[in-house]
Structures are given as C-alpha cells and as structure tokens.
Structure 1
Amino acid sequence: MSRIALKLKGSKNALDAFTKSNITRLQQHKLFSTGSQSGRLPGKVALITGAASGIGKAAAIRFIENGAKVLLADVQDDLGKSIANDLGPNASFIHCDVTNEQEISSSVEHAVAQYGQLDVMYNNAGIIGTLAPTILDLELEGFDRTMAINVHSMVAGIKHASRVMIPHQAGSIICMASATAILGGMAPHDYTVSKAAVVGLVKSTAAELNQHGIRVNCISPHIIPTPLGVNGFKKLSGINDEKIATKMAHNLWEFKGAQCEASDVAEAAVFLASDYAKYISGHNLVVDAGFTCFKRLNFTP
C-alpha cells in the first residue's frame, strides 16, 4: 500500500476503494497532499531542472513525498505544467532552458520569490549527446552542445544557487553525473567527457562553498531506462523496439535480485538534499550496484 494511502483519514471502505482503484501516484499527490512536515525534507524548498520526465520527475515526486516544496524547471512546458498540477499545492513549474544562464538565474529568483528561500538546487537536466560511435565521427559542434547542456548549465546552476544560499550559510547543491565518468568505454566521448567534468566541478566548488555551509555533491548512476536512456540505447544499438531496448539496458547490470530505476536515483538525491547528509560534501554518490568497482576474471579454458 502506498505511503500516501496510509495517511488517508477515512473509513476502511474508503481505504479499500482507494487501494483497489487505478489512481496514479501523481493523482495521489493531488488528492492527498496536505503540506505535511513528515519525511526527510520537511519545510525545504528545492529547484529541480529537467523535472518534466525521467529522473527529474521521479525526484520531484520523492521530494514532495518527503515534505519539500518543489519548483520544476524544464523546456517541456505542457508536460511540466501537467506534472506540477498533478503533484499538488507543493509543486509549481517554470520554463527554463538550462543553456541560457539568465533563465537559470530567473528560476532561482522565482523559487525564492514564491517560497521565500532555496534550500536545494538539483542540477539534473542533461542530454545523451551526439551518440557519435568513434572519435573520428565526433563533430565538435555537437560536442559543444553536449557540454553546454551537461556542464555549462551545472556551472550556472551552482553559481546562482550559491548567490542566494551564501547569505543563509546553508544549502545543498546536487548535480547529475554518470558512471561513465568513472569507467571509459561505456558511452560516446562527448557524454563521457561532460560527466567527468561534472565530477570535477563538484569537487572544485565544494572546496569553496564548504566555508559557507553549502554542500555540493553529485550522483553517478549506471544506465537507467528513462526515455532519454532508452532512446540513446536504441540509436547506439540499432534496435527500434522500445521493450527490447529497455530489457537490454537492464541486462547491462550485474546485480542479482534488483534493477535500478529512476526512483532509486531520486532516493539518492533525497538523501543528499536532507540533513541526514549534513557532513557529506564533494562526494560522488555512485548508484551502479558496484558495476564500476571491478572486473571479473574469466577462468574459462
């Protein structure tokens, strides 16, 4: 039974009807969001970029479930507005092209104007990149666009979040990196380089912002079957069937008994955003079931 359903104050018949219905998780938030101070993020205000789908959407859901107010920022206006509406009164949407520094700055200002503060900046927006199969195929114009969205936007996000967090001497900034930043050969060059740059950016800015009580961390997941990941995998593998591509993506994992979903990365973000992680900064939280930690020896004769 959903955590939201357990909070429902009604008769047993009402609860039974609720749990047997086809109501979606987003609709649950719309119906039962009460601004409760329960969870790991009570009273916190978060800005999440790329929040209209995939990991960003999953993070918005989990942040609100944990008591936060969330400003969803994305270029997908209709989808973003719909999700914010479904998430209830603790969610709102703003258009934000993360390649435009002014729009990131405006999003930060909007969060402060609407909610009075900004406690968490989750720089999640990103693209899979050119998907160029070799260095000879890589066009530098495409490389520059990948860097603009995956790195430049992170720099701007940290810069403008810091601007409003420094006066309060507190805050948590989270950036989306990738397991490809740790192990070569897992993704095309432009994507790999961009995510390695994010890890370096986090360490560099954490060294400065620690003196202001602001924590800066990143999350590095392995491939996850989000729309972004599946579409990229389809193009790289030449497979057009989405179900087959999703299954193949899952099969890249080497952990028995579980598969990583967007919600698992969202849980990692909730932890880093919360006071439970109050002494964690400059850290790259790898969510890959140990994939980048080892290689098995093949003793087959």
Structure 2
Amino acid sequence: MERDTGRLVGKVALVTGAAKGQGAAHARRFVAEGAKVVLADVLDDDGMQVAAELGADAVYTGLDVRDEQQWAAAVDLATERFGKLDVLVNNAGVNHFAAISDTTTADFMRVVEINLLGCFLGIRTAAPAITAAGGGSIINVSSMNGLVGAAHTSAYVATKFAIRGLTKSAAIELGPLGVRVNSMHPGAIDTDMARAGIEMAKGLGMDPMAALPLRRIGTVDEAASLALFLASDESSYSTGSEFVFDGGWTAGPGA
C-alpha cells in the first residue's frame, strides 16, 4: 500500500472492531502511515478481507473482546509477528436501541460486556506489552454519547460515559510507565451503527442532522485522522484527555 507521510513508521498497532467502519479506516490509515497492524474482530470474513488488502503489514485475528484468553492471544500475535506492540485502539462496540422500559438485563449486560469490559480487558492485557516496547498509546473509542445523553440508547450511553472514567484512571496509572491513554468521542460518523441511530431518531420525530452545526455526517476517514494523531508521537503530551469530533453536536443546536 502506498505510504503517506510516514507518521507511524516503526510502530505496531492492534485495532479492535477492525473488520468494517471506523476500525477498518483506522487500520488502513495506520498501514498507509507506516505501521504494522493486527486487525481484530468477530467478523472473520470481513476482517480477513481488509487484512489481505493491506498486505504483509497487516494480519487478522478473531477476537471477542469479552474473552481474556483471546485478548492474550491477540497481543501475543502482535509481539510474535511484528516484534512489539506500541498502540492499542479499543474500537469494538455495539449499541442497543430501545427504551429503558423495553431493555432487558441481558440486553443491557451484552452492551456493558462488549463496550466496557472489552475496553478494560484490552487496557489490562496490552499495557504490559506497550510498556515493554518503551511506551506508547492506548486509544479508547467512546462517543459524543459519553458526553451527553440520548433517549432509547441507555446501555450504550452508560458504557460510553464509563469509558471516559476508565480512560482517566488508566492514564493516571500508566503515565509513569510511558503509556498515554486518551478517549475519542465521535458524533454521527458514516457507519452502519450511526445510520441506524439516525433512522431511529427520525422514527421518533427527530432529525439530528437538522440541528447539527456542520449539517452533515462525518466520514470514517475523518475519524482515522484523529486516531492517527493519537497513535503518533505528535500527541506525546496528551493523556487522560477527551478528543471530540462531532460536527458541533455537543456545542449545542445549530442556527
């Protein structure tokens, strides 16, 4: 794959939820910038296809982020195949669209286990390898709904708020070891999940895009640009911070 500016030359990254959407865009941008990347997901066919497109600088592995042993295997794959691990992107996540009264305990806990427990296990498993590499970056993908609430998505909102707190605690603990931990807070990005949320809102009589200051949905390439900054040494003095890219959504309704 043709290199861009080489901002990640020499780095090795592990990206979860990398088979499609934002995760795939992160993996593609990282490889284009010189990194070696382990793509991890439960969508094996899609994930293997993306990895094949990226060539020798990428490898795919199946990873259910709720499974501690699969996490250990993914980190081991990065260090065995590419020699180390510098960057973790905790991108895997799911949503559940339903009113609180219609959300079962099983529904709620599935979102908690994938979004929040998965993020915790990723930090805990990858941090020693990143420390051994001399330090690096952990990027936890939260959401604008980790900053503001939303109806009919209580489990998702709860986990995305929790990821903010987990990020800050991890940043405090891991900073002395040279490991930076930050959270990304995307708004409506052009993915299947975001489009489903927009359609749900329209079904409730709301038009999210009408009140958005930039009046458009974001692209996965825009998301990848922020992930690239946080993975690179350009963000070397940023940790425990929240990076918002939401078209102005959390600033308030547009005129």
Aligned-partner residue type, residue 277 of structure 1: S
- Counterpart of 2:193? 228
- Counterpart of 2:92? 125
Say whether 1:142 aligns with 2:101.
no
- Partner SS state of residue 211, structure 1: helix
- Counterpart of 2:64? 97
Superposed, 1:171-250 pairs within 5 Å as 171-185=136-150, 188-235=153-200, 237-238=202-203, 250=209
Kept in 1, the 8 Å contact 2:143–2:187? The answer is yes
Structure 2 unaligned residues grouped into runs of 5+: none
- Counterpart of 2:78? 111
Kept in 2, the 8 Å contact 1:68–1:90? The answer is yes
Change (3 A) 1:73 1:62: same
- Partner SS state of residue 78, structure 1: helix
State how far apart, in whole Å, the 1-side matches of 2:218 and 2:138 are.
23
Change (3 A) 1:252 1:296: closer
State how far apart, in whole Å, the 1-side matches of 2:203 and 2:20 are.
24
Kept in 2, the 8 Å contact 1:81–1:93? The answer is yes
- Counterpart of 1:43? 10
Kept in 1, the 8 Å contact 2:14–2:40? The answer is yes
**CA deviations over 1:12-41 (Å, ceiling 9, x no partner):** xxxxxxxxxxxxxxxxx3xxx4xx694211
Q: State the Cα distance separating 1:233 from its structure 2 match.
A: 3.6
State how far apart, in whole Å, the 2-side matches of 1:206 and 1:84 are.
30
- Counterpart of 1:5? none
- Partner SS state of residue 48, structure 1: strand
Aligned-partner residue type, residue 290 of structure 1: G
Change (3 A) 1:72 1:208: same
**CA deviations over 1:76-112 (Å, ceiling 9, x no partner):** 1111111111112211101111111211111011100
- Counterpart of 2:230? 272
Q: Which has the larger radius of gyration?
A: 1
Kept in 1, the 8 Å contact 2:142–2:161? The answer is yes
Equivalenced residue count is 253
State how far apart, in whole Å, the 2-side matches of 1:281 and 1:77 are.
32
**CA deviations over 1:61-84 (Å, ceiling 9, x no partner):** 111111111110011111111111
Kept in 1, the 8 Å contact 2:213–2:253? The answer is no
Q: State the Cα distance separating 1:253 from its structure 2 match.
A: 2.7
State how far apart, in whole Å, the 2-side matches of 1:187 and 1:287 are.
22
TM-score, reference length from structure 2? 0.92
Q: State the Cα distance separating 1:171 from its structure 2 match.
A: 1.2
State how far apart, in whole Å, the 1-side matches of 2:208 and 2:244 are.
18
Aligned-partner residue type, residue 112 of structure 1: T
Kept in 2, the 8 Å contact 1:225–1:250? The answer is no
TM-score, reference length from structure 1? 0.79
Change (3 A) 1:102 1:251: farther
- Counterpart of 1:70? 37
**CA deviations over 1:184-218 (Å, ceiling 9, x no partner):** 22661111001000000000100000010000001
- Partner SS state of residue 260, structure 1: coil
- Out of 112, 135, 155, the residue aligned to residue 170 of structure 1 is 135
State how far apart, in whole Å, the 1-side matches of 2:24 and 2:187 are.
18
Change (3 A) 1:89 1:169: closer
Aligned-partner residue type, residue 98 of structure 2: A
Change (3 A) 1:141 1:272: same
- Counterpart of 1:15? none
**CA deviations over 1:239-283 (Å, ceiling 9, x no partner):** 9xxxxxxxx665453215x64111111110000000000000001
- Out of 10, 13, 20, the residue aligned to residue 53 of structure 1 is 20
- Counterpart of 1:254? 213
Say whether 1:88 aligns with 2:44.
no
Kept in 2, the 8 Å contact 1:37–1:43? The answer is no
